[in-house]
A and B are shown apart, each in its own frame.
Chain A
Amino acid sequence: DSGVTQTPKHLITATGQRVTLRCSPRSGDLSVYWYQQSLDQGLQFLIQYYNGEERAKGNILERFSAQQFPDLHSELNLSSLELGDSALYFCASSSRSQGNTGELFFGEGSRLTVL
C-alpha cells in the first residue's frame, strides 16, 4: 500500500459526459501528480500541483482540468469525454520535506472506460 488513495477504481461512462477522479496523497506529501496510461502506452504526464498551486503542466487536454484543495487532496475533471479518453489515470504524490528523494508514490489508478 503506497498510502495514495484514488477513487473510483473503475468508471464506465458515455461519450460527451463529464467525470471527476479523486486522489488523496500520502500523509504529509505536498505534491500531487496526474498521469494517463492508455493501452500499450507509457505514463503520460498531465499536471502537477504543489501545496494547492499548479506547478507544471504536461500534455493535458483543454477538456481536462484539475485542482488541489487546502486539505491537499486533488481532483481531475474530464469533460466532453471521447472514446480515446479511455485509460488508466494514476495519481502520485511526493514530499519535498522528507529528504526530497524524488520518489513518486502511485495510487492504484482509476480505470475510465468511455463507451
Chain B
Amino acid sequence: GENVEQHPSTLSVQEGDSAVIKCTYSDSASNYFPWYKQELGKRPQLIIDIRSNVGEKKDQRIAVTLNKTAKHFSLHITETQPEDSAVYFCAASLFNQGGKLIFGQGTELSVKP
C-alpha cells in the first residue's frame, strides 16, 4: 500500500522567512496530493492540493510542487506569519476513486515574530 514520508518533523522560522516541507510517496499510481493544516486543538483543514497532471500550483503565499518521476512533492510558504504556526500534513491518494488519503507524519511549523 501507499506510504508517505514527510520531513522535517519540526521547523522553526522567523516571521517573513520562507518555509519548505517535503514529502515522498511510494505508490506510483497515486495521483492526488493535498496538504492539510491542523492548528492546535482543531481539526485538519485542506489548504492546497495538486493532481499528478500538474507540476506546480500556487495560492497566494502557499505553493505546492510535484515531481512524479522522483515521487516527491513539497509545500512552500513564503512571507510566513505567526498565524501560519500549525502542524502541516501532506497526503497521497488515488483521485476519482474516492480513494483514502494516506498522510505523512506531520511537520510542526513555528513562526517566531
Contacts and interface: CB of A to CB of B under 8 A. Distances in A.
A103 interface: yes
Contact of A58 (B100, B104, B106): B100
A103 B100 contact: no
A35 B91 CA distance: 13
B39 to A, nearest CB: 12
Interface in B35-51: 42-46, 49
Contact of A102 (B44, B89, B93, B103): B93
Interface residues of B, number: 22
Q: Is the interface of B mostly helix, strand, loop or mixed?
A: loop
B98 A94 contact: yes
Given A43-B106, A101-B49, A106-B43, 11 more contacts: A2-B45, A33-B100, A33-B101, A42-B89, A42-B105, A50-B98, A102-B34, A102-B49, A103-B46, A104-B44, A104-B46
Interface of B: 6, 32, 34, 42-46, 49, 89, 93, 95-96, 98-106
